[in-house]
Structure 1
Amino acid sequence: MTDVSSRYLTLSKQLDALLDKDLPYISNLANFSALLWLELEDINWVGCYLADKAKKQLFLGPFQGKPACTSIQVGKGVCGSAFAQQQTFRVENVHEFPGHIACDSASESEIVVPLYLNGELFGVVDIDSPRLNRFEPSDQIGIEYLVKVLENKLSDVHF
């Protein structure tokens, strides 16, 4: 993985050691969020929104930061759009994103990465920053890599 910076490679090693496939997925998502919260600079929220496909919405999962929106309609806001389109959204200025859902008025930029469990779209990882243009293309590569580490560790986890 030559495109992944050394900072994210180091984080991936920490993450791999921290996650435990013998624990429930919710415990691993909680530690994933906590590690990113501690190690990433200039962020004010990190966590997961998980899919409720019957209701066509995402619900709040493990996170670190201020209280957050508890549900987001699929296709709405940055999280719902990233989930619906099954692709990473890196937003330099959330105030310019059509339909942005402001859970924390201090957030200025955001990155959302789809999360898969056993090959099925399961939710999204959401990271907010109080700084405009916080997430560079190199951050996107690194965060997507960390999410892959998480997905691989969760691949044998049962509900």
Structure 2
Amino acid sequence: MSLGYRYVGPPDIAARARHEPAGRAIRSGADFLSWYAGADHRDPLFTYVVTVDGVLRVAPRRSEHVACAAGADVLAAGEIGFAADGRVVEVTNQSTGYCPDPSCWPAVAAALDAAGLTHPGGFTSEFVFRHCPSCGHLNLIKDDDYTCAICGAALA
């Protein structure tokens, strides 16, 4: 399991996030049902993080992960979709602010299990991110091509 991820996105987003509400903590089925009843369902996906103490936090999809996490480090971050009964129907590690590795799944599973939410047993879509050591560009790795899309440098 990952030891955690620091926010690595743009500093101006982190600064704005300090003034946004943190995501809603989901520690139980009752927490989920209360939150879900008032959530905006026009977009079926939501932003989530798993805090360093293992708690699932959710926010509207257009929220920044760093805001959902109240600026703190996280064990995992991405997007998540639910059925009305609390089943997780989609979950990813897609967060360009934290760039979590797919190996963060155990933290997600533990937070979902602790909240009593059924999940698919793994990410429904996995993403691998790398920052270029030469130009600093954030790259989404596709087809196992570890080459920077901007400058062509090799990515570790």
TM-score by length of 1: 0.28
Which structure has more RCO (C-alpha within 8 Å, separation ≥ 6)? 1
TM-score by length of 2: 0.29
Q: Give the structure with the higher percent helix.
A: 1
The structure with the larger Rg is 2
Q: Give the structure with the higher percent strand.
A: 1
